Amino acid sequence: MIKRLSALAHSLACFQGEWDADIDALRRGASFGSAEPGGIVVGRRGGGLSALEVSQHDLVRSWSRCRLHLWQVGGGLMSQGLAVFFDVGDTLASAVVEGTHLSRLDTYPFVPEVLVRLRSGDVAPPASVGLISDTGDESAATMNKVLRAAGLLPLVDAELCLFSSIEGIDKSQAALFERARERAALPATRCVFVGEDAKERGIAASVGFRVSPHPLHALHLVAVDFAVHP
C-alpha cells in the first residue's frame, strides 16, 4: 500500500510538471496542433500570439493523461471512481434551434437535482458528470454559452464534455464512447451513458458502458449498482 501511494504521489508530481509546461507553452504562443473550426480562444498574452486557438481535445490532453496514469499506477485505489455521461437534447433539455443553429436549451425541471445528487455522492460515491452530444457544426463557444444559460455548465465536468463538432466523431461511432472513457480514466464498467436513443445506448453498451434511458432511471441505477456498502 505504501509503495502504491508513493507511486500516486510521484504521478501527481510528474503531472504538475507537465501541466506547468503546457501552460507555459500556451503563454509563449506555442500550438498543440492545428486549430479546428470551433476551437476555443485560450487567451491573449504579451510575447505570444495575439489570440491562440486550440481544440477542446488539446486543452484536456494533460488532464486526461494524468487521470489515465493515476488509474494505471493506482490499481484498486481508483476502482471506485464513477463517471456518468449524458446526452443533451431530449435527455437533459429540449433544444431550440433558430435557422440552422442552436439558440437555447430548455432544461427539464428534474435535471439539476439529478446532476447535483450524482456529483455530491448522495446516492453512491461522488460521480464525475460529463456530456456526450452530437452538436452539428456548433462551436465550443456556442455550446458553453447555451449550457451556461440553461444552468447546466456548472453541473458538469468540463473535461468530460465531448461534442461531436469538436471531437470530429459522433455517437454513431463507438470511438466517441471509448474517448469518453479515456478522458474519465476509468474502466468502461465504471462509466454510464444516459440517453433517450436506444441505438446510441447500444453503441455505448458495446464498449462496456452501463446505459440508462432517462436521468431519473440513471439516478436509481447508480444508487443500486454503484453504492458502497459497509
| pLDDT over 50 at 160, yes or no | yes
Q: Is 194 exposed, middle or buried (0-12, 13-18, 19+ CB in 10 A)?
A: buried
Give the residue-averaged pLDDT of 127-136. 98
Give the residue-averaged pLDDT of 29-36. 39
Q: Is 45 exposed, middle or buried (0-12, 13-18, 19+ CB in 10 A)?
A: middle
The segment(s) of the chain belonging to CATH 3.40.50.1000 are 80-225
Cα 180 from Cα 193, distance rounded (Å): 10
* High-pLDDT (> 90) share of the chain, %: 63
Give the residue-averaged pLDDT of 19-39. 43
pLDDT band for position 193 (cuts 50, 70, 90): very high
The fold for domain 80-225 equals: Rossmann fold (3.40.50)
Tens of pLDDT, residue by residue over 70-119, are 444 444 444 579 999 999 999 999 999 999 999 999 999 999 999 999 99
* High-pLDDT (> 70) share of the chain, %: 65
Give the residue-averaged pLDDT of 173-186. 98
pLDDT band for position 228 (cuts 50, 70, 90): confident
Bigger pLDDT: 36 or 185?
A: 185
Tens of pLDDT, residue by residue over 7-26, are 444 544 554 455 455 445 54
pLDDT of residue 65: 47
Q: What is the overall mean pLDDT for the chain?
A: 78
Rg over CA atoms, the chain: 18
